[in-house]
Amino acid sequence: MTDSAPVGALAGFKVIDLSRVLGGPYCTQILADNGAEVIKIEPPQGDEVRDWGPPFKDGLSAYFAGVNRNKRAVALDLRTDEGKAVLLRLLDGADAVIENFKPGTMARWGLGYEEVLAETFPALIYCSITGFGAEGPFGGFPGYDAVAQALAGNISVNGSPESGPTRIGTPLVDLGTGLYAAIGILMAAEERRRSGRGQRIDACLFDTGVALMHPHAANYFMSGKAPTLTGNSHPNISPYDQYPTGRGQIFLGIGNDRQFRLLAEELGAPELAEDERFLHNPDRVINRDALNARLVELLAGCEAEDLSRRLSAKGAPAGAVLTIPEVMEHAHTAAREMTVALDGYRGTGLPIKFGRTPGAVRSKPPLFGAATRAVLAEAGYDAGEIERLIEQGVALEARGDAPS
């Protein structure tokens, strides 16, 4: 990177990342993509998702590589007193620290926020990600994405009557928690600009899962009725569903009467928009089955991608149902720079586009302990001290207790 190259909106923002798996690393990758210096600290056995595969390439799992670019990897044994001392030195001057240990772990290690870190580093932003928080009947329980999806109701509204409740195909709760955590850290940074003080951020998968239950929660609060499985269709809008065409599947997202008229005209059936059963969205929702039956007839002679382009160009949202390879090689994906490549690494692009301070992929996902020596040296340890820490297993460059 040259001195004149953009460095991102968060240049100069330093993050110590103690998190593993998905929610925390996704949060810190967002920060790192936009210029933050992120030091990823792993335990001796490493972040467990290094082993979540296949596929693997160049010593990395795809799962790990997808959420850990633009970071520097350091390995420390925080169970040791010297490991804790190294962490405290790294926290000196850091803007934020993020961890996803079970509640109380940092306190048991003598690194609790209220007891130690807030006193030692009053400006530090401390973000804790857990499965269910520390309080309540599930407080302290471990949690992965699908478990939180189940307990927060997400699975109960996903699927069809034929399939039954179905896990959402992407880890939406973990990713959403990472997004909320990133937003929370930046909110805390803005408040710190006024107060000069850091604070603790409590983010958990269960809370995210509940918060993402729109419109099902809103519908329940207003009607008192439990949502039912509707497959691809929307409980409040019609036609908002997936349909077969003569070639491929298409999703129609028709949100208002004007869009419905455009759809009817494009399908060569303008009379649909004049049918009393389909005049307005509430009518179309009530008469969903009759409308869907007619649409399936009309769509049989269409080609999904061609029709989706024609409808969208006229202002009626529609999308052909594309596969992951089709998406990643699509012309619009390229136009939006939503794939990136660097020295053999490929990943998804940055969804936030800044006018003056764009983010960038500056470094590939790191191998375990790749920056241990360099980061310790930058923290003031001399070569002899670094060698001793490595020999004693306090700092590491190779994984211990990892699966073979």
- Residues designated catalytic: 174
Rounded CA separation 75/47 (Å):
10
Tokens of 370: 């790749």
Rounded CA separation 380/375 (Å):
9
Q: Which amino acid is at 396?
A: L
Q: Which pairing describes strands 125-130 and 96-99: parallel, antiparallel, or unpaired?
A: parallel
Tokens of 234: 């929307």
Rounded CA separation 112/117 (Å):
6
Give the residues across from 76 on adjacent strands.
Answer: 395
Q: Is 248 helix (H, G, I), strand (E, B) or coil?
A: coil
- Angle 23-25-28 (CA atoms, 0-180°, nearest 5)? 110
Question: Is the separation of the CB atoms in 99 and 130 below 8 Å?
Answer: no
Q: Cis omega (within 30 of 0) on the bond before 171? A: no
Residues belonging to the chain: 404
Tokens of 229: 């499985």
* Nearest alpha-carbon partner for 39 in 22, 14, 12: 14
Q: Cis omega (within 30 of 0) on the bond before 239? A: yes
Q: Is 219 helix (H, G, I), strand (E, B) or coil?
A: helix
Rounded CA separation 156/162 (Å):
13
Rounded CA separation 160/240 (Å):
15
CA atoms within 13 A on the CB side of 313: 7
Question: Is the separation of the CB atoms in 68 and 29 below 8 Å?
Answer: yes
- The alpha carbon of residue 315 and the mean position of all alpha carbons in its chain are separated, in whole angstroms, by 30
Rounded CA separation 280/269 (Å):
16
Question: Is the separation of the CB atoms in 185 and 98 below 8 Å?
Answer: yes
Tokens of 133: 């928080």
Q: Which pairing describes strands 71-76 and 96-99: parallel, antiparallel, or unpaired?
A: unpaired
